[in-house]
Amino acid sequence: MSSENAPESGQPEQLALIRETVRRAKPRTWRGAHLAEELPVARVVVDKGLLHLDRYYDYAVPVAMAEAAQPGVRVRVRFGARMTSAGRREGGELHDGFIVARLPVSDYPGVLAPLAQVLSPERVLTPALLKLSRTIADRYAGTLADVLQLAVPPRHAKAEAEPSPAPLPPPPAPDPGSWRRYQQGPEFLAALVGGHAPRAVWTALPGPTWPDEIARAVAGTLAGGRGALVVLPDGRAVARVDQALARLLGGSDRHVVLTADLGPRERYRNWLAVSRGSVHAVIGTRATVFAPVHDLGLLVVWSDGDSSHSDPRAPHPHVREVALLRAADEGAAVLLGGLSTTVEGAQLLATGWARPLVAERAVVRATAPQVRTVTDTDQARDAAAQAARLPTVAWQAAREALRSGPVLVQVPRRGYVPRLACERCREPARCAHCAGRLEAVGAGQALRCAWCGVEEGDWHCVECGSFRLRAQVVGARRTAEELGKAFPGIPVRASGRDAVLAEVSGEPALVISTPGAEPVAEGGYAAALLLDGWALLNRPDLRAAEEALRLWLAAAALVRSAEQGGTVVVVAEPTARPVQALVRWDPLGHAGSELAERAQLGFPPVSRMASVTGTPTAVADLLGLVRLPEGADVLGPVPLPPLRGEEQERALLRVRPGQGGALAAALKAAQIARLALRGSEPVKVRIDPTDIG
């Protein structure tokens, strides 16, 4: 095994001497076997995601593996083995890896261990994918091995043995269709057909047409002879775009889908079709952004503000950032779209990196529903409205809408009553065992801790001694129960984490949903009630306003237009900026205001940040070792809720634009130094954290 860099080319005599040295070492390298005559060294990235091992390692290539052991293939190697003077191996464990290069010599002065096995001759790690993965690992202070686990799906031997279909010729250029509703929409599509690389931040109009608009952008790219890649936040959105593409292109032969729901064999088969160049269009969820599309011409990211686009696994890359880096490197077009606009999208527009794709205000007004605002204190006169926990205006809107179709009710919290407090002193109800919050899981059932799951049968307030509780937040199941009583005879359907509905019929019904789980209604909803807006707006997070507006717009976009009688009632403070943006249907203006405010405060995306989370001792230890770029700010540490009984703290590190790479490198070096000093307490480092409180 060796260091990361290959030796520089020298004089022929020197290279001959080095090769002769390698040949003489063959008996010591693998007893009873011979090395490949040509390029006898394989440089390997080993699947061992430890920061201090984030480098390449050299292995000897046995002659029996010389043909199959090509750059990009999967191999197994013995990592940490020691070679004796007799050429025998001692110790070490077998690990998977990828060959990244074949070399004539190694700069490692010792004896090379041989490759243990070539798992497959399929070249799954292309040079472009390796370069992208290395860039992402450096940007997010992670390891190449961790990124490759996200980028390359696990091997499935049966799928690999199946032949991929022959590539089809480019389809004809599509008609612009509903892209005509957008300023410069047809021009954007024509640029894709012409093989150009336009970059746009697209604020989609409400209604059911956005999947078809994405499909037309993909078809235009294929017509121009290039490949397209679409990343969506969940399987339901993928299914809608899949259907739209099949309708537009006359079948599903020209594109593949990549989601975890497909299963290992089908997913790997589809991935191989892309890798082999048989298919040039792919749609899917988060990991699809790494799909090795040949001659990539378009990257589409839909709803980039959705938290599903941020990978929960280390090093936590965000789909939007991966897509932008990849597009810049491969010269591809970018379509960053959604019903709302993120602050990052607004920054791309402000810097001129991308151009807006929006509709004129008259078109927006013609397609958007009517939005009405009301506070949750407006309970007033109607007894039925009080029983349903609805302001009178919302109750009346639901009653009128149920005459012509379904009504969507968005509730910010799942469960029955997920948050309780003392009725007398308002002290939050806590578990006696772990201090977690107590919740009611059903009518007449005992309270249960949301953290440890222990039931609490005889709760009383530790502050005032009261035995009476009040609901701080009412969940979706309790709301469904109350609305069912207020609207007798009306079917009530629920969509949430336990069972997410893809669609519902156009018949009158009450559809209770948590944010993000709203099903599509046939013909659109007659009305939507957005309840407990304060629960979204009052979250202690920098993105609370942006996220609240995104969730409201996603629900409101499923409602019929105002011309068709569609109404949205949002129960929140009418003067709040996100509420006003919803009333005007102006997500781009809201994102611009948020960006200006962030610029004044020095918060992302106008700066780069990282979070450091762990025990107080571990956080202080890392902060003492890290060598931050000049001008960096350290915010905190501040206490966090305990984790498994241990105190937790978090510090935020902020640097100026252009210093993000230096910040990531400094944090990675500090983590490696802690490992060298045998720091036992782990510290979680996250670049560009999504939850800045």
> Can you list the domains of the chain with their CATH numbers?
12-123 (no CATH), 177-363 (3.40.50.300), 368-597 (no CATH), 608-687 (3.30.70)
pLDDT at residue 16 is higher than 80: no
Q: Average pLDDT, stretch 240-264?
A: 93
φ, ψ (nearest 5 deg) of residue 216: -70, -35
- Using the predicted structure, report yes or no on whether residue 278 has a pLDDT greater than 70: yes
Has residue 20 got a pLDDT over 70? no
Task: Find the length of the chain.
Answer: 693
Tens digits of per-residue pLDDT, 71-88? 999 999 988 766 555 556
Q: Does residue 567 contact residue 397 with C-beta atoms inside 8 Å?
A: yes
Across 637-661, average pLDDT: 87
pLDDT confidence band for 500 (50 / 70 / 90): confident
- Provide the CB-side half-sphere exposure for 214 (13 A, CA): 36
- The count of other CB atoms within 10 Å of the CB of residue 377 is 8
Q: Which residues contact 337 (CB under 8 A, 6 or more apart)?
A: 201, 202, 203, 204, 210, 214, 300, 301, 302, 303, 357
Q: How far apart are CA 211 and CA 357, in angstroms?
A: 16
501/48: higher pLDDT = 501
Identify the pLDDT of residue 546: 94
How many CB atoms sit inside 10 A of residue 12's CB? 8
Cα–Cα distance list, 688 to 548, 598, 611, 661 (Å):
20, 14, 8, 12
Query: For all residues of the chain together, what is the average pLDDT?
Result: 85
Q: Measured on CA atoms in the order 310, 581, 230, 520, is the torsion positive or negative?
A: positive
The residue that leads in pLDDT, 93 or 339, is: 339
For the ranges 159-163, 411-415, 540-544, the lowest mean pLDDT is seen at: 411-415
pLDDT at 369: 96
Of residues 498 and 372, the one with the higher pLDDT is: 372
Which of 128-137, 235-244, 387-396, 433-442 is predicted least confidently? 433-442
- The span from the CA of 422 to the CA of 428, in Å, is 6
Which of the listed ranges 6-20, 89-103, 248-262, 370-384 does the model predict with the highest average pLDDT? 248-262
Judged against a pLDDT cut of 80, whether residue 522 lies above it is answered with yes
Write down the pLDDT at residue 18: 37
Q: Which of 57-61, 313-317, 373-377, 644-648 has the lowest mean pLDDT?
A: 373-377
- Cβ proximity of 49 and 106 under 8 Å: no
Average pLDDT over residues 645-662: 89
Tokens of 624: 């003492």
Task: Read off the pTM.
Answer: 0.85
In this model, does residue 364 exceed pLDDT 50?
yes
Question: Angle at Cα 690 formed by Cα 46 and Cα 665, nearest 5°?
Answer: 45
Residue 470 has pLDDT above 70, yes or no: no
| pLDDT of 387 strictly over 70 | no
Looking at residue 210, what is its pLDDT?
97
Secondary structure (3-state) at 13: helix
Gap between the Cα atoms of 1 and 108, Å rounded: 6
Burial (CB count within 10 angstroms: exposed 0-12, middle 13-18, buried 19+), residue 614: buried
- Helix extents (H) in 466-532: 476-486
Work out the percent of the chain whose per-residue pLDDT is above 70: 82
pLDDT band at 462 (very low <50, low <70, confident <90, very high): low
Amino acid 416: pLDDT:
46
Question: pLDDT tens digit string along 186-211?
Answer: 999 999 999 999 999 999 999 999 99
- pLDDT recorded at residue 132: 96
Mean pLDDT, rounded, for 563-586 = 93
Per mean pLDDT, which range of 144-148, 389-393, 450-454 is the poorest? 450-454
pLDDT score of 30 more than 60: no
pLDDT band at 251 (very low <50, low <70, confident <90, very high): confident
Does 481 or 257 have the greater pLDDT score?
A: 257
% residues pLDDT > 90 (the chain): 57
Tell which residue, 340, 235, 282, 281, has the closest CA to residue 553: 340
Cα separation, 223 vs 175, in Å, equals 12
Distance CA 486, CA 399 (A): 10
Query: Would you say residue 385 has pLDDT above 60?
Result: no
Predicted confidence (pLDDT) at residue 575 exceeds the cutoff of 80: yes
Q: Residue type at 127?
A: P
- Mean pLDDT value across residues 574-586: 94
HEC readout, 406-443: CEEEECCCCCCECEEEECCCCCECECCCCCCEEEECCC
User: What tens digit of pLDDT does each residue of 156-169 get?
Assistant: 999 999 988 889 99
Residues 6+ apart with CB under 8 A from 70: 99, 102, 121, 123
- β-pair type (455-456, 447-449): antiparallel
- What's the pLDDT tens digit per position in 662-681? 999 999 998 888 887 766 67
DSSP string, 582-649: HHHT-HHHHHHHHHHHHHHHT-TTSSEEEEEEE-HHHHHHHHHH--PPTT-EEEEEEEEEEETTEEEE
